[in-house]
Amino acid sequence: MWQKIKRMLGGYLYIRLTGFTPERFLNLCMANQIVLWDLVFRDGGCQFYVEVKDYRRVRPLARKAKIHLKILRKQGLPFFLQRNRKRKLYGAGVVCFFLILFLMSQFIWNISLEGNRRFTDDMLLQYLDTLNVRYGMRKEAVDCDLLEESIRSQYPEIIWVSARISGTRLLIRVKENEVMGTIPVKDESPQDLTADRAGIVTRMVVRKGKAQVSAGDEITPGQILVSGQVPIVNDAGETVNVQYVRADADIYAKTEEVYAERIPKLAKERVRTGRMRRGIRVRFFNRSALFLLPRTGELFWEFTAKSSQACLFQDFYLPIWFDRITAREYSLAERPWRLEELEILKNQIHQQKMQTFMKKGVQIIENDVKILDKQTHWEVQGRFVLEQPVGTGQPPEMSQEQKQEEETVLPDERN
């Protein structure tokens, strides 16, 4: 690589060699340590490249070997400058180009985030914006040590931050704590556990409170399952007081869930015509220019775009974005559903419902699904028999005197 650059800066020649003793000439070049490269035999003579500084040493050797040298092509920076010495505007344009690149290299044009899973890129970029760390800022204004400390202070869940500048890119790597950082405060306010749906109790474990139902009982929505009122009785079995606690229990009931999903009578599908348009959109800061082929026809178009940022080297980004746009023409058509398509669609809807229950940790005991023709539409009807938690917290009913008495009791006295 460096050898090519050196030859380009110093200039080199493409020479054609003709004569009766080319082997003697090549031996003389080797003895004088003159480098020739890309040596080929073509059109009745040898052709090769040689540097300009070595060409002056080659000419006496050519006379000694009684051969003739002819320059076919001159290449390199010295010859380029000589050919364009009168094109001052061209030279000024080249100088301005490199000057603009130098000025662009003094700013941040790309911010990359790595290692963040809990906090999205948008969340972290919005926080960086509050710190005046954004696209287009000078690299000298970025204090990486202060930036690392600020992110750790703002997000305690992030235990490690690394920020560095490479080229025109600000790279921020973070590592999040996988263990919960703080212990949530436990709510000890009194409550009852009530049923949030109808069903039949299958099993229950009461940890605190007084059970009002047992396994096998049928429950209705709003019914108290575990009461937070625990009576205090004396030796005679008489209730002398009532203690209010936060009812806590695991209650599972057998419930039934049904659903109905409508499907239009006719299926709509896109029929592509085969026509395609390609174009490109160039974005520079807040301005953009769209270059797209003219529209043909009066049908619909489906657009897809792939965006990329201009990058000269690995980390030398520029504030220029290119969007490669592809447009495909299509028309909308309606047709009756095929039986196999309805069957697939029915199973997909049912599987989505099942996945929703499984993500919640609900046990599915039975399930069935069917599809019915309703003249104006198709209807998917499904049924699930589930075993799921049914208890939800509700404040207990207390009289006015009991509320006043409860408010005067200190938390330590409750225990």
pLDDT at residue 149 in the model: 92
Looking at the structure, tell me whether residues 331 and 344 fall in a common domain: no
In a domain, 90, yes or no: no
pLDDT at residue 414 in the model: 45
pLDDT at residue 294 in the model: 61
Burial of 87 (0-12, 13-18, 19+ CB in 10 A): exposed
Looking at the structure, tell me whether residues 358 and 330 fall in a common domain: no
Contact 367, 350 (CB under 8 A): yes
pLDDT per residue as tens digits for the range 365-388: 999 999 999 989 999 999 999 999
CB contact set of 33 (below 8 Å; sequence gap of 6+): none
In a domain, 89, yes or no: no
pLDDT at residue 173 in the model: 93
In a domain, 170, yes or no: yes
pLDDT at residue 298 in the model: 66
Kindly state the average pLDDT of the residues 383-408: 75
CB contact set of 330 (below 8 Å; sequence gap of 6+): 270, 271, 272, 273, 299, 300, 301, 302
Question: From the CA atom positions of the chain, what is the Rg in Å?
Answer: 41
pLDDT at residue 413 in the model: 44
pLDDT per residue as tens digits for the range 311-333: 887 788 888 899 999 988 888 89
Q: Of 43, 62, 82, at which residue does a domain stop?
A: 82
Looking at the structure, tell me whether residues 240 and 347 fall in a common domain: yes
In a domain, 92, yes or no: no
pLDDT per residue as tens digits for the range 157-174: 888 999 999 888 999 999
Looking at the structure, tell me whether residues 147 and 219 fall in a common domain: no
pLDDT at residue 100 in the model: 87
Contact 195, 225 (CB under 8 A): yes
Looking at the structure, tell me whether residues 248 and 380 fall in a common domain: yes
CB contact set of 152 (below 8 Å; sequence gap of 6+): 158, 159, 161
Q: Of 123, 151, 176, at which residue does a domain stop?
A: 176
- Tokens, residue 21: 């003793």
- 150: domain CATH number is 3.10.20.310
pLDDT higher than threshold 70 for residue 221: yes
- Tokens, residue 405: 């008495």
Looking at the structure, tell me whether residues 232 and 352 fall in a common domain: yes
In a domain, 51, yes or no: yes
Q: How does 122-151 read in b/e, with b if 16+ C-beta sit within 10 Å? A: eebeeebeeeebebeeeeeebeeeebbebb
pLDDT at residue 41 in the model: 85
Round to whole Å and give the CA distance between 30 and 95: 40
Looking at the structure, tell me whether residues 355 and 249 fall in a common domain: yes
In a domain, 94, yes or no: no
Top-confidence residue, 84 or 391: 391
Kindly state the average pLDDT of the residues 140-156: 91
Is pTM beyond 0.75? Reply is no
pLDDT classification of 354: cutoffs 50, 70, 90: very high
Round to whole Å and give the CA distance between 136 and 319: 8
Looking at the structure, tell me whether residues 342 and 412 fall in a common domain: yes
In a domain, 96, yes or no: no
Q: Of 138, 154, 176, at which residue does a domain stop?
A: 176
pLDDT per residue as tens digits for the range 62-88: 888 888 888 888 888 888 878 877 777
Q: How many domains does the chain have?
A: 4
Q: Where are the beta strands (DSSP E) in 177-247?
A: 192-195, 199-208, 210-211, 218-219, 224-227, 229-233, 239-244
In a domain, 210, yes or no: yes
Q: How does 155-178 read in b/e, with b if 16+ C-beta sit within 10 Å? A: beebeebebeeebbbbbbebeeee
Looking at the structure, tell me whether residues 391 and 362 fall in a common domain: yes
Which residue range is the domain that position 259 belongs to?
A: 188-265+337-415
Residues 354, 360, 366, 371: is their CA dihedral positive or negative?
A: negative
Looking at the structure, tell me whether residues 388 and 373 fall in a common domain: yes
What amino acid is encoded at 282 in this protein?
A: V
- Tokens, residue 133: 């760390």
pLDDT classification of 410: cutoffs 50, 70, 90: very low
Looking at the structure, tell me whether residues 412 and 287 fall in a common domain: no
What amino acid is encoded at 319 in this protein?
A: P
pLDDT per residue as tens digits for the range 261-286: 999 999 988 888 888 888 899 988 77
- 78: domain CATH number is 3.30.70.260
Looking at the structure, tell me whether residues 172 and 192 fall in a common domain: no
- In which order are the strands placed within the sheet that holds 300-311? 287-292, 266-284, 317-336, 300-311
